[in-house]
Amino acid sequence: MTDHLLEQAAPASAVTHLELELAGVDKVYSSRRGSTEALRGIDLSVASGEFVALVGRSGCGKTTLLRILAGLLPPTAGEVRAGGRPVWRGTRRDEETVSRFGLVFQDANLFPWFSIEDNVALPLKLRGTDRATRRARAHELCDLVGLGGFEKSLPRELSGGMRQRAAIARALSCDPSVLLMDEPFGALDALTRDRMNMELQSIAASTGATVVFVTHSIPEAVFLADRVVLLSPRPGRIHSVVDVDLARPRELEIDVEPGFRETVRSLRGALDEED
């Protein structure tokens, strides 16, 4: 009964906005060979509609942090909240909260047996949306991410960049309040990556979703984010947080502007400090 009341109450606060909060999050991986401390004392707040980039060297725990946020990996200690509700209750996650997230991984992870349309509409299918609505929504989203006309194609018939677009469309299909992206463009060539960054910027602006974006590219982080969070490794901690004061919408040519270069330089400096 209380659950029911909670569900009734949720939509009021849930319109499309959702802020994220991590407090004292630790993660320790234990195996037979001993334990590895992946994250220590992560405190971070992400405002509703904010675009935050997590940057750091490989092995600094940025993917672990994102997986904890996404409800894929329970934290060892600490609180993770979305819109004031805990994402994790011990090692059980709150399905209601997690259902408002859209996830994009480094690999597109499309199901090869489904057409692009069925892949994009998979989240809707799992929610029991009828076929006609699913098809219409998939069509709309394919247009949005520049895949119009490829609805009936199979994933293997598409290029890497197109597959990643489809993965983004899939993440958007349930109108998520939060987009969690783990190096989504890491496997793409530089030109495609630039284009995807432009498109992601406009998608983020038009949906008003809160975005947490993991990358190892400092320029990419500065281009996309309102704030860049630098993580340092072993164990993963927040090294510094840098605000990016650049007007939006940003053009690719922004990389020659002094403000952009200064931010990139200071982040590089901070990253080098660790060694």
Partner 1 sequence: MEQRGLSKWLPWISAPVLLVLLVVVWSLVVSVFGISEFVLPPPSAVAASLGELLVDPETWGHVQVTVSEVLTGFVIALVLGVLGGWVLGRVAWLEVAMRPALVAFQVVPKVALIPIFVIWFGFGLTSKVIMAAILAFFPILLNVLLGVRSVDPGHRDVMRGLGASRWSTFRNLELPSTLPYVFAGMEVAIVFSVIGAIVGEYLGGNEGLGFLVVSSLNALDAPALFAVIVLLAAVGSVLFFAVNLAKRLVIPWHESVSEKEFA
Please tell me whether residue 122 binds partner 1 under the rule CB under 8 A: yes
Q: Which two tokens stand for residue 92?
A: 């059980």
Please tell me whether residue 125 binds partner 1 under the rule CB under 8 A: yes
The answer to whether 76 touches 102, Cβ cutoff 8 Å, is: no
Please tell me whether residue 109 binds partner 1 under the rule CB under 8 A: yes
Q: Which two tokens stand for residue 2?
A: 């209380």
List 37, 107, 140, 255, residue binding partner 1 (CB under 8 A): 107
Torsion of CA 133, 109, 95, 199, to 10 degrees: -70
Element (H, E) at 226: none
Please tell me whether residue 14 binds partner 1 under the rule CB under 8 A: no
Taking the least distance from each CB to partner 1, the nearer of 112 and 258 is 112
Binding to partner 1 by CB under 8 A, coded x per residue (else -) over 129-158, reads -------------------------x-x--
42-50, 93-101, 212-220, 247-255 -> range binding partner 1 (CB under 8 A): 93-101
List 5, 31, 92, 113, residue binding partner 1 (CB under 8 A): 113
Please tell me whether residue 252 binds partner 1 under the rule CB under 8 A: no
Residues paired with residue 181 on neighbouring β-strands, in sequence order = 104, 213
Taking the least distance from each CB to partner 1, the nearer of 34 and 112 is 112
20-28, 118-126, 239-247, 249-257 -> range binding partner 1 (CB under 8 A): 118-126
Taking the least distance from each CB to partner 1, the nearer of 177 and 232 is 177
31-39, 104-112, 191-199, 208-216 -> range binding partner 1 (CB under 8 A): 104-112
| In the complex, least distance from residue 139 CB atom to partner 1, rounded to whole angstroms | 20
DSSP line for 44-101: EEE-TT-EEEEE--TTSSHHHHHHHHHTSS--SEEEEEETTEESEETTEE-HHHHTTE
- Return the residues of window 61-80 that contact partner 1 according to CB under 8 A: 70-72
The answer to whether 65 touches 42, Cβ cutoff 8 Å, is: yes
| In the complex, least distance from residue 222 CB atom to partner 1, rounded to whole angstroms | 27
- Distance separating alpha carbons of residues 62 and 81, to the nearest angstrom: 18
Expressed in angstroms, the distance from the first to the final Cα of the chain is 55
- Distance separating alpha carbons of residues 22 and 220, to the nearest angstrom: 24
List 103, 141, 225, 228, residue binding partner 1 (CB under 8 A): 103
Please tell me whether residue 3 binds partner 1 under the rule CB under 8 A: no
The answer to whether 173 touches 120, Cβ cutoff 8 Å, is: yes
Q: Is 118 left (phi over 0), alpha (psi -120 to 50) or beta?
A: alpha
Binding site for partner 1 (CB under 8 A): 70-72, 95, 98-99, 101, 103, 105, 107, 109, 111-114, 122-123, 125-126, 154, 156, 170
